[in-house]
Structure 1
Amino acid sequence: MTDGWESAARLCRDAKEDLPELTRTAVARIRAEVGGTYAPVPTDEHFADVDGQYAALLDGLAARRHPSAADADRARELGARRARQGLPLESVISAYHIGYRELWNALLERAELEDPELAVRLLRLVNLVWTWVQRASAAAADGFAEVTLARQAATTELAHRFLEALYTGESAGEDVALAARALGFDPAADFRAVCADVADTDGADLERVRTALRRTGSTAAAVRGDVLVLVAQGVDDALRPERVADLLGRGPVGIGLSRRGLPGAAASIVDAERSLAVARRTGEPAAFGDHWMLATLLPHHHELGAVLDTDADERHPHLRDAVTAYADHGFSTTAAATALHLHPNTVKYRLDRWQLLTGWDPRTFDGLARSLTAIGLRTPDARRHP
């Protein structure tokens, strides 16, 4: 070498003599900065991995060469191994940056102590070091993604089989229990289902929901026709209607009851499907526990036509509003009038008018139940009381 580089190359070769010390420092720093996410990686294994990376980098810097195909393959294999160990990708990438940063700082410190001019020459390697960081971390990310995608594909297929078994009434089979355990479920514990229209839930929405739910419990999701079906366990708080609205961001969503065991999971899916029909009318997430009557009756609205035959709610929406306000405000004409900004006598007149047109007295249980059910089944803006 004729440009004075030999001293910098010698510095890199000398550093290899102290590789165990440099590696121990780097491993300690990585595990301290990345946090507990590296706990699944045995310390001896972590040491060997960093030691090999450092040896390759020092050889590359000494020769002023870019990472080789073999170097990239090693990084790719390491990324795949970290994925199998359950580490998050961001921790793996951070570890690369921390490790290379520690080695670079150690080289600069040694150069400064030996000769300030040597430190200046070493700075010419910044771009080369950055190339090693970029290519090694990118290869690791590729290996990580390959394992993750394969695992996701297998999990998705298993979730499809599991949910299909619930749909077909095979929840009592031992193979279904095995599939549930493989998906992280306790077959004997409580399950809760959610259904959403696929057209209103894109892939990013789904992954965000699944990631959020996985923080506290287990999930399995699949698409059947035009409906996304998700079964979860241990995430009841996250499946409150207002939380689901925040997670999905938009669109009708039906939420089933929390039910026990695999038969309960199948029943919760039915709850969620029926609640989805309500949500399509309201435009808001609907939980079966809040809308159970309307959700149960909607599939039978044609059969109930003879019992609930009226179009008074459509022809006279002001009468319909008086009935629902009366039900929503403690069966009090005064409270209903306040909510509607009317005089109580006006509300009383409208309730009488509704009775005259329909034959149902909203002041009685049967008359109010028929009135609210007819309103709920006929109008797209069905209220809380069917």
Structure 2
Amino acid sequence: MGARRRRTGHDWKLLTESCTALLERLPELVDEHMRQLAEHSSVYGEFLPYDQQWREAEEAMRIGIQTISAPRDSPRRDLEYAEEAGRRRAQQGLPLELLVHAYRAAGYLVWDALMEEGAAALQEPERLVVLMRSATMVWSAVDAQAAVATEAYRATEMELRRRTDERLQALLDALLEGQEAPGLAARAAAGLDLPERGPYAVVVLRSERRESYRRPVEGDGFRFIWRMRADCEVGVVALADGQGLDGVAHALDGRCSGPGGISPVVAGLAELGRARRLAELALRTCPPDATAVVRLDQRMPTALVVSQPELAGRLVSDVFGSLLELEPADRAVLLETLDVWLACEGSAGRAAGRLYCHRNTVFNRLRRLEQLTSRSLARPRDLIEMTLALDAYRLS
């Protein structure tokens, strides 16, 4: 970049004399450069103190002027400084377009000053010719400096963004783990641009079916923020005031292959750990072959069963003990009949339609279940036990 034009020893001598004269005027050139930048944008005066900006501009212009008259094969100190400046300005937060403008403005200023030197030496036409021949080289150097500064700026910006993302992800992970460090929720709220207090929910999706999952877009007054885990994907849902879980379930419907669990609504970021545990509990209520994303508040009885696996196993043994001794196919028919009958709210006629059999067949199967379990579906307490035992059996 910016290869210098081959010049004779005499050309180099004349150009060196002009650049030396220019260096003697450097303070006034820097003052003019700073004035032009301030007129172009007030942002230049906001990101750094004036004295520091002046010193850095003076060094950059001095190195640039020295580069113009430097021998062809000398190190490109101007490009080294441009790379450092690009990184520094990215860290300081100066917009990239203002960084590039500063390089262009300095280039115009230096070139105009060189032309003034040539005009002052009209009695030496040869000097003016040498300066005019240097135009391509000067602007090639300015272009190279701006390009190097831009590349360094963008690389630094990407690195800063990556570090910021990692820091915010760590804050979110800490909240989801239920950590209670002072100021944790406030820092996460500021970094994620979320309210510290407000309605939130957590979604947990089983990871083995993630390949066909499409994340929901923002809309309907809520926002999803997702985190990948080894065995699941966790989503924090920011809800608008008055927005319930129906909207969350609707957004997920058809956008993921499931299964998944949705927590109840919690009142702020500090409660995301509890919400995550409840969402995981909701997910555990889904059978292995399930595809639905379920809400915990609609699966409370089943959640009670899965939260106590030892008691759930004992419940299955106590209620379905004799049933479990049947042939697998026979057992599956009876349990499917009970499941469908419960889903049809105790209607034998509707259950028969779903099972493609006569309603009397449904009655016969249910009576056989009652005999094998020593329980009556007409007694509420027995019905509760059989319902919970069926959930526990399916989930095991």
Give the alignment's TM-score, normalised by structure 1: 0.57
Q: Report Cα offsets for 1:200-223 as digits up to 9, x if no partner.
A: 669xx99x78x969x955969685
Determine the structure 2 residue equivalent to 1:12. none
Gaps of 5+ in 2: 8-32, 51-55, 69-75, 106-134
Determine the structure 1 residue equivalent to 2:359. 344
User: How much has 1:276 moved relative to structure 2?
Assistant: 2.6
Instruction: Let me know the Cα RMSD of the aligned residues.
Output: 6.0
Please tell me whether the aligned partners of residues 340 and 354 of structure 2 are also in contact (alpha carbons under 8 angstroms): yes
Determine the structure 2 residue equivalent to 1:142. 155
1:183 maps to 2:188? yes
Q: Report Cα offsets for 1:28-56 as digits up to 9, x if no partner.
A: xxxxxxxxxxxxxx58669x9xxx99xx9
Q: Report Cα offsets for 1:118-153 as digits up to 9, x if no partner.
A: xxxx99xxx999977865544222211222233233
Determine the structure 1 residue equivalent to 2:164. 151
Distance 2:379 2:390 in 1: 16
User: How much has 1:330 moved relative to structure 2?
Assistant: 3.5
Determine the structure 1 residue equivalent to 2:203. 194
1:70 maps to 2:81? yes
User: How much has 1:159 moved relative to structure 2?
Assistant: 3.8
User: How much has 1:180 moved relative to structure 2?
Assistant: 0.7
1:356 maps to 2:356? no
Which residue among 321, 327, 333 is the counterpart of 2:348? Answer: 333
User: How much has 1:191 moved relative to structure 2?
Assistant: 3.5
Query: Structure 1 or 2: larger helix share?
Result: 1
Q: Which amino acid aligns with 2:345?
A: G
Determine the structure 2 residue equivalent to 1:34. none
For 1:68, what is the secondary structure of its paired residue? helix
User: How much has 1:294 moved relative to structure 2?
Assistant: 1.2
For 2:201, what is the secondary structure of its paired residue? strand
Please tell me whether the aligned partners of residues 190 and 265 of structure 1 are also in contact (alpha carbons under 8 angstroms): no
1:295 maps to 2:303? yes
User: How much has 1:274 moved relative to structure 2?
Assistant: 1.1
Distance 1:370 1:188 in 2: 40
User: How much has 1:69 moved relative to structure 2?
Assistant: 2.7
For 1:302, what is the secondary structure of its paired residue? helix
Distance 2:225 2:175 in 1: 11
Superposed counterparts of 1:223-372, under 5 Å: 231-234=236-239, 240-241=248-249, 243-244=251-252, 249=256, 252-261=259-268, 264-279=271-286, 281=288, 282-309=290-317, 310=320, 311=324, 315=329, 316-362=331-377, 364-372=379-387
Determine the structure 2 residue equivalent to 1:9. none
Distance 1:250 1:323 in 2: 27
- Bigger Rg, structure 1 or 2: 2
Which shows bigger deviation, 260-269 or 145-154?
260-269
Q: Which amino acid aligns with 1:182?
A: R
- Going from structure 1 to structure 2, the CA distance change for 1:339 and 1:250 (only over 3 Å counts) comes to closer
Identity of aligned residues (%): 15
Superposed counterparts of 1:111-126, under 5 Å: none
